[in-house]
Structure 1
Amino acid sequence: MAENLPITMKDIARALGISVATVSRALSDSPRISSVQRKRIQDYAKEHNFYPNVIGEALRHNRIQPLKVIGVIVPEFVHYYFASVLSGIEEKARACGYRVMVAQSNERYDKEVAICDDFYKNKVCGIIVSQAKDTKQYDHFRRLMDNGVPLVFYDRICTGVNGSRVVVDDYNGAYAAVSHLIETGCKRIAFYGSPMNLELSKNRYNGYHDAIVKHGLKVDEALVRLCDNRAQAEAITPEILSLPAEERPDAFFAINDDTAIGILYTAKRMGFRVPLDISICGFTNGERAIACDPMLTTVEQRGVTVGEEAAKVLIDQVEGTLPRNEVVMRVVRTRLVVRDTTR
């Protein structure tokens, strides 16, 4: 159980062997509950750091409108993609009269839990989140939903929680990219990916794998590496490019542009010609893709559109246009942008 996130009325009821209705009445000082029982329940709630969600309670009884503040969790501000998603969220939120409260998890589960706790205490009307890389427990998300706080996941969706999500078409984006590499003459294609607990990593790997198999080539698992940033790419690529010619890849497909640029920098430093000797494709289409030399072939993720769609789904659930218990899935199409790192 996550220690920092407050318990719910369901948790109190379960622990004390009473109904949720009894807990609710006791916490509201209802005379229908005996003074002894009220004190028992209130003491337990205080001892276990219970924070009543007055916004959620009021909404359930249609007494007030929610505070128009949306909480947004980004893994890291430095990534162009997350910044573009945030731009889309802010644009849509502002147009609908909402403000945005933003925090970054720095790819840490413990910080993500603390942010969820803070957002809950600050009575945000809903949260848009891309989970941290090392998040493998989801109690903090489930508890928010149990307390009536709608969640919408983007990019890194949480398969452990039945929540709404907005994602790009990772599989088809990867499939198109690798197919392009093969159709331009590449036969040994390396894949640099993120941890496989992330759904987007699985989907991009599957797109990579299926494109190779369907074009009659074989997947060499020795060329599949866990690597999703520039520093890692610069550290491991020299070993791969130092393999004998028959074992060396003639192309790389990277999970994001930063990783692809790390490959590009290393290949050039080692004397390889891009794309004559080595083709490289990324995934993002951020500003860095056109700032490198040669300019990077990449899959465009359309982060602004993802942000706009995520905000729209959340606001519709907050305002009742969409039922809060309805799980909404939106997929944003990708587009292959061919530049000079591929033949």
Structure 2
Amino acid sequence: MEKDITIYDIARDLGVSPTTVSRALNNHPAVKEKTKKKIFQAASDMGYQSNIFAANLRSKRTNNIGVIVPSLNSNFQASVLAGMEKVANAAGFNLVISQSLESIEKEIANTRSMFNSRVDGLLVSLASDAENLAHFAPFHKRGIPVIFYDRIANSDSSTGVAIDNIQAAQIATNHLIDQGCKKIVHVLGSTNVSVYSDRLKGYKYALMDKNISFDQDQIIVLSDINEEAGEKIVAQILKMDPLPDGIFISNDACAASCMNHLKQKGIRIPEDMAIVGFNNELISRLVEPKITTINYPGFEMGEVAMKNMINYLDEPSNTTLHNTNKITLRSELLIRESSLKKKK
């Protein structure tokens, strides 16, 4: 059996004093960052992290909270991060932010990096292809809290903050039906992601309630629903016969792009096609006609998720999430000109 690696082994290997190694492993400010990094690396390579190294470091807070987002190129995620930052800064915590770029491999690498950086807690909005959540197990084992937001894990053991996406999509689709739409296209992201699978359910429930038959051909699923996707979506829509009279798009930037491409093809909005977006992003209020959308409270979501994280770190047994597992925030339909076939 291999003997345990000690600080003396690391010191001998690097040619530094055992005191320097001990101080570095305890994150002492007297040790230069470059030396600390070298010592952390050697400790990890030599297998020291699996014993006292981890115990020493876990006993102290770093005051860093990790955040993994699917993409920083998103107004919604930017407003969530602003909400998180406000609460974290007030409580003396820093954010360590990384993006998965919608890739499970990158999310796993980010998670490992956050773990090795010894963050006190982790806030995550899952990548679109994240199905297995085994990469969060080391955090659970160490008692490091992991809170999901927006795109949350479908498991009883995970905690999260979200809106009721089923209800929001049902309300959006019902609004289009109330405006006289009979053939409604729904544009959404990968249904592996909880928010999109829930919105598809809400869309289907609305059709069912009004006895409108569901048609799979009216569902357009894209890996990335963004501004660039607009042209592709419109090309697909214009091939439909008969043409749809309503479109419900899970993202405002994409909805605005679709609207522009439709107008270029001579389609009148909302007379020929009514449009509803999602997220209440700035773009929805700047285009003409202004876009009906679901107000998704990103800033509030960031605040609530971070408050619960910090409460958990301060009092692990006495937090809302500890007792409820999930916090659901309110969303609402904001009706504007893009969907009003029936003028007020």
TM-score range, shorter chain: 0.7 to 0.9
Measure, in 1, the Cα distance between the counterparts of 2:289 and 2:48.
56
Counterpart in the other structure of 2:13: none
Q: Does 1:180 align with 2:171?
A: no
Deviates more, 1:171-180 or 1:323-332: 323-332
Which of 127, 132, 157 pairs up with 1:132?
127
Measure, in 2, the Cα distance between the counterparts of 1:249 and 1:49.
63
Gaps of 5+ in 2: 8-43
Which of 244, 249, 258 pairs up with 2:244?
249
State the Cα deviation string for residues 15-65 of structure 1 (Å, max 9, x = none): x9xxxxxxxxx6789xxxxxxxxxxxxxxx85678555347742xxxxx5x
Shift of 1:195: 1.0
Shift of 1:73: 1.0
Q: How does 1:104-119 map to 2 (within 5 A)?
A: 104-119=99-114
Counterpart in the other structure of 2:333: 336
CA contact (8 A) 1:316 1:322 kept: no
State the SS of the aligned residue for 2:333: strand
Measure, in 2, the Cα distance between the counterparts of 1:69 and 1:232.
36
Aligned length: 300
Quickly say closer, same or farther: Cα 1:49–1:265, change in 2 above 3 A: farther
Quickly say closer, same or farther: Cα 1:142–1:337, change in 2 above 3 A: same
Which of 211, 233, 258 pairs up with 1:236?
233
Which of 301, 317, 324 pairs up with 2:296?
301
CA contact (8 A) 1:130 1:155 kept: yes
Q: Does 1:166 align with 2:161?
A: yes
Counterpart in the other structure of 1:97: 92
Quickly say closer, same or farther: Cα 1:161–1:122, change in 2 above 3 A: farther
Shift of 1:136: 2.5
CA contact (8 A) 2:129 2:193 kept: no
Measure, in 1, the Cα distance between the counterparts of 2:5 and 2:145.
23
Of all paired residues, the percent bearing the same amino acid is: 29
State the SS of the aligned residue for 1:116: helix
Measure, in 2, the Cα distance between the counterparts of 1:306 and 1:28.
45
Measure, in 1, the Cα distance between the counterparts of 2:184 and 2:169.
12
Measure, in 2, the Cα distance between the counterparts of 1:238 and 1:192.
13
Shift of 1:125: 0.3
Quickly say closer, same or farther: Cα 1:322–1:341, change in 2 above 3 A: farther
Q: How does 1:19-98 map to 2 (within 5 A)?
A: 50=49, 52-54=53-55, 57-58=58-59, 64=60, 66-98=61-93
Quickly say closer, same or farther: Cα 1:272–1:316, change in 2 above 3 A: same
TM-score, normalised with respect to structure 1: 0.80
State the SS of the aligned residue for 2:140: helix
Gaps of 5+ in 1: 1-15, 17-25, 30-44, 59-63
Measure, in 2, the Cα distance between the counterparts of 1:48 and 1:255.
47
Quickly say closer, same or farther: Cα 1:48–1:67, change in 2 above 3 A: closer
Measure, in 1, the Cα distance between the counterparts of 2:140 and 2:301.
22
Quickly say closer, same or farther: Cα 1:302–1:56, change in 2 above 3 A: farther
Q: How does 1:142-221 map to 2 (within 5 A)?
A: 142-160=137-155, 162-221=157-216
Counterpart in the other structure of 1:10: none
Shift of 1:190: 0.5
State the SS of the aligned residue for 1:153: strand
Measure, in 2, the Cα distance between the counterparts of 1:285 and 1:49.
50
Quickly say closer, same or farther: Cα 1:276–1:48, change in 2 above 3 A: farther
Deviating runs (4+, > 3 A) in structure 1? 26-29, 45-57, 321-327
CA contact (8 A) 1:56 1:147 kept: no
Deviates more, 1:261-270 or 1:325-334: 325-334
State the Cα deviation string for residues 50-94 of structure 1 (Å, max 9, x = none): 555347742xxxxx5x22211111111111100010011111112
TM-score, normalised with respect to structure 2: 0.80
Counterpart in the other structure of 1:38: none
Counterpart in the other structure of 2:308: 313
Measure, in 1, the Cα distance between the counterparts of 2:145 and 2:6.
24
Shift of 1:232: 2.6
State the SS of the aligned residue for 1:89: helix
CA contact (8 A) 1:56 1:149 kept: no
State the Cα deviation string for residues 237-287 of structure 1 (Å, max 9, x = none): 22322333xx22100001111221232122111100000110010110011
Letter matched to residue 231 of structure 1: E
Letter matched to residue 236 of structure 2: E
